[in-house]
Structure 1
Amino acid sequence: MTAQQITPASKASFIGGLVFFLLVLVLVFVAGWQFSRWVQGQQTAPIAEVRLYGQFMQLDAAELQQQLQQQFVGNFFRVNVDQVQQFLQQQPWVYQVAVRKQWPDTLVVVVTEQQPVAIWNADLLLNNKGELFQAPIAQLQQALPQLHGPDGTEQDALNMFILMQQLLQLHQLSAEQLWLTERFSWRIQLADGLSVQLGRQDTLKRLQRLIDLYPLLQQHKAAAMAEVDLRYDTGIAVRYAEPETKRKA
């Protein structure tokens, strides 16, 4: 068995391969170091923009965006999405929020606003899903019906009001207030101020009876009607407003 001789050519090939390997290691190290520096730089890169989306009627979008800019614009990686959501959920008129980061420097915020459909017991609001929420009633951009009732009956009151309003509007009438008493008796007030007692049973049938008799009742006396009581099986009771001259006397 003869020993293998190392020729000048094989020695040069070995050295060349070793140099190439070392160069690759150096390049990998440099690339890793550069990447590490880039990541560190990105970790301190600020959020440059907040994009706010939604259909706003009650909320001031410009003011809300300014608040977000002041409180949460900063480090991209350190901005806590949960904190942004909690901040927005505490704002009046906000129903739902979605927040996400968009690479490299943007915070995207989508806000769903509360849709108020009625005022409940003078100090709370009902949204279109029958849920109570609190917001400044004075800021309402539109007039809303007022519903009154015991705690926990807001969904029943809203459903009944919708049914009554649909029936009334078929005959060019409208309700603006509804009461549900502790004994579950219904009363409404029409847009012209007429108070209507409907009782606990056959509520919509009794309301239809009022609609049928309304033109006749208006013609019966010159004075305006103040209250109609439909809590009778075979008749109704009507109270007319006192004449102005009598009231002044």
Structure 2
Amino acid sequence: MTVIRSKQKTPYTPAFVGGVLFFLLSLALVCWFATRVVVWVQDQQNAPIRQVKLYGDFGHIQPKQLHGKLQQQFVGNFFKVNVDQVQQFLQQQPWVYQVAVRKQWPGTLVVVVTEHSPVAVWNNDYLLNKKGEVFKAPIEQLNAKLPHLAGPKGSEQDALTMFGNVQSLLKLHQFEASKLAVSERFAWELQLSNGIALKLGREDTLKRVQRFIDLYPAISKHKTEAIEQVDLRYDTGLAVRFAPPAVQPEKRKA
């Protein structure tokens, strides 16, 4: 019996080998390209900052001084500039409310600063912005005269709201408030720009202010001395304290 073996063709034909080589070459090329991209990105991240562009609507911040600090701190740094660190640095500067920082290729640091808008002095040492948030900045750098508010921690927003309500009522009658204080027990005391102090207590604050406005013409005509304080913590009526009369100097005998 004769066994005939069929000849099988080897799979390693020139076309197959060429395809494998082409695949390996393509894979190597892709890996090399990806490596180069990673290296390029790292180089860009580690590239030195050559200039800083500072933007913002500044009222109290001196842009030249702030720009100089940024230039000194970050320009020419060959290490990776961390945007978060730049933001943290800026948030520590006076008058800075919000910051947006980004790197612009090839070597520019773009900084956009939003400044605090102060509306009142708080407890003589701090400032309040429009949202009733406390911040620290040199009070002597204020561009305008601001009212003084005072109170315990956590009462900032209440004090700001109350001052706005009282001020609106007073302005209708040609008065102006300059100071407002709230105690730990939430009792209010108001001082007008003419120096009169109003004790308002804890309840019916605006009604008591209105009572003062209604009775002021009669109070001011009652005595010639200046009014120092008006106590409105009564259900009806009020108590008035007048300044002591000025002491006249004695005339010397000739």
Instruction: Name the TM-score, length of structure 1 as normaliser.
Output: 0.79
Residue 167 of structure 2 corresponds to residue 165 of structure 1: yes
Residue 203 of structure 2 corresponds to residue 201 of structure 1: yes
2:51 aligned residue: 49
Following TM superposition, by how much is the alpha carbon of 1:192 offset from its aligned partner in structure 2, in angstroms?
Answer: 0.6
Q: Which runs of 4+ in 1 moved over 6 A?
A: none
Q: Please say if residues 223 and 242 of structure 1, whose CA atoms lie closer than 8 Å, have aligned partners that are also in contact.
A: yes
Distance 1:42 1:196, change over 3 A: closer
Partners in 1 of 2:82 and 2:117 — Cα distance? 28
Count residues in correspondence.
223
Q: Please say if residues 147 and 179 of structure 2, whose CA atoms lie closer than 8 Å, have aligned partners that are also in contact.
A: yes
Following TM superposition, by how much is the alpha carbon of 1:146 offset from its aligned partner in structure 2, in angstroms?
Answer: 1.0
Unaligned stretches of 5+ residues in structure 1: 1-20
1:230 aligned residue: 232
2:3 aligned residue: none
Partners in 1 of 2:102 and 2:45 — Cα distance? 17
Q: List per-residue Cα deviations over 1:172-216 (Å, max 9, x = no partner).
A: 111111111222211100001001111111110010111122223
Partners in 2 of 1:159 and 1:41 — Cα distance? 53
235-244 or 193-202, larger mean C-alpha shift? 235-244
Partners in 1 of 2:236 and 2:148 — Cα distance? 30
Partners in 2 of 1:43 and 1:211 — Cα distance? 66
1:215 aligned residue: 217
Q: Please say if residues 45 and 81 of structure 2, whose CA atoms lie closer than 8 Å, have aligned partners that are also in contact.
A: no
Following TM superposition, by how much is the alpha carbon of 1:156 offset from its aligned partner in structure 2, in angstroms?
Answer: 1.1
Residue 87 of structure 2 corresponds to residue 85 of structure 1: yes
Distance 1:118 1:69, change over 3 A: same
Partners in 2 of 1:115 and 1:44 — Cα distance? 36
Distance 1:111 1:61, change over 3 A: same
Partners in 2 of 1:91 and 1:203 — Cα distance? 38
72-81 or 134-143, larger mean C-alpha shift? 72-81
Following TM superposition, by how much is the alpha carbon of 1:45 offset from its aligned partner in structure 2, in angstroms?
Answer: 5.0
Partners in 2 of 1:87 and 1:182 — Cα distance? 36
2:99 aligned residue: 97
203-212 or 38-47, larger mean C-alpha shift? 38-47
Following TM superposition, by how much is the alpha carbon of 1:227 offset from its aligned partner in structure 2, in angstroms?
Answer: 0.8
Partners in 2 of 1:131 and 1:192 — Cα distance? 28
Q: What SS does structure 2 have at the residue aligned with 1:198? A: strand
Q: List per-residue Cα deviations over 1:91-136 (Å, max 9, x = no partner).
A: 1211110001122222110111111111111112211111111222
Please give the residue correspondences for 1:62-141 in structure 2 after superposition, counting only pairs within 5 Å. 62-74=64-76, 78-141=80-143
Partners in 1 of 2:147 and 2:237 — Cα distance? 29
Percent identity of paired positions between Structure 1 and Structure 2? 61
Unaligned stretches of 5+ residues in structure 2: 1-21
Partners in 2 of 1:231 and 1:82 — Cα distance? 52
Partners in 2 of 1:179 and 1:76 — Cα distance? 52
Partners in 1 of 2:99 and 2:44 — Cα distance? 27
Q: What amino acid is aligned across from residue 113 of structure 1 in structure 2?
A: E
1:240 aligned residue: 242
Q: List per-residue Cα deviations over 1:205-239 (Å, max 9, x = no partner).
A: 01011112222322222211111111111211111
Q: Please say if residues 76 and 105 of structure 1, whose CA atoms lie closer than 8 Å, have aligned partners that are also in contact.
A: no
1:12 aligned residue: none
Q: List per-residue Cα deviations over 1:7-56 (Å, max 9, x = no partner).
A: xxxxxxxxxxxxxx9xxx9xx89x97xx78x9487567543321111111
Q: What SS does structure 2 have at the residue aligned with 1:196? A: strand
Q: What SS does structure 1 have at the residue aligned with 2:121? A: strand
Partner residue of 1:177 out of 179, 187, 211:
179
Partners in 2 of 1:76 and 1:100 — Cα distance? 17
Instruction: Name the TM-score, length of structure 2 as normaliser.
Output: 0.78
